[in-house]
Amino acid sequence: MRRRWPLVLLLALLLPTLAFAQAVRDPSPMQFTDQAEADRFHDLAGELRCVKCQNQSLADSNAAIAQDLRHEVLTLMRQGKSNAEVKDYLVDRYGEFVLYRPRMDTKTWLLWFGPALVLLAGAGVVVNVVRRHARMGAAGTADNAKATAAIDEDQEW
């Protein structure tokens, strides 16, 4: 009997927090069968964009359409659809806009590779500058060496 006390205490501490978190997050809480389903759902909903309030994810939005779409996503998941299939379902109806991570195609390649191109250009500039300085430094050292050699020769002579 004594052993159970820590567990009971822990549950008592957790319960109000859970209830509060749900009340704030979602006016119509989703019912999940297990934690794995809940985790998968939250990952997926976090990657999908709400079509109505466009700077929120499907997981964060309280718009009516976001609630409907959340329930639809869960229904599709329970039908055994993969994450990719769920995304395809939404893209077919609402367009690429719903994806926070846009797909790679001719329209989005600049979006995907633009930063890398800018980074490469920057690296090119840095390499160029470093090389030029190195060349100037080396030329300077060579000149010094020559001068020293000349002095040495002078001295020897």
Nearer to another protein, 44 or 51 (CB): 51
Nearer to another protein, 26 or 72 (CB): 72
Taking the complex as a whole, the smallest distance from the CB of residue 52 to another protein amounts, in Å, to 5
Q: Can you tell me the distance from the alpha carbon of 134 to that of 149, in angstroms, rounded to the nearest whole number?
A: 22
Taking the complex as a whole, the smallest distance from the CB of residue 98 to another protein amounts, in Å, to 9
CA distances from 115 to 6, 44, 105, 112, 122 (A): 52, 26, 16, 7, 10
Q: Can you tell me the distance from the alpha carbon of 74 to that of 67, in angstroms, rounded to the nearest whole number?
A: 11
Nearer to another protein, 32 or 94 (CB): 94
Q: Can you tell me the distance from the alpha carbon of 43 to that of 36, in angstroms, rounded to the nearest whole number?
A: 11
Nearer to another protein, 97 or 100 (CB): 97
Nearer to another protein, 128 or 144 (CB): 128
Taking the complex as a whole, the smallest distance from the CB of residue 155 to another protein amounts, in Å, to 34
Taking the complex as a whole, the smallest distance from the CB of residue 40 to another protein amounts, in Å, to 20
Contact yes or no for 99/49 (Cβ under 8 A): yes
Q: Applying CB under 8 A, which residues contact another protein?
A: 51-52, 54, 64-65, 68-69, 72, 91-97
Contact yes or no for 45/57 (Cβ under 8 A): yes
- Describe the crossing of helices 35-47 and 83-94 by its angle, rounded to 10 degrees: 40
Taking the complex as a whole, the smallest distance from the CB of residue 8 to another protein amounts, in Å, to 42
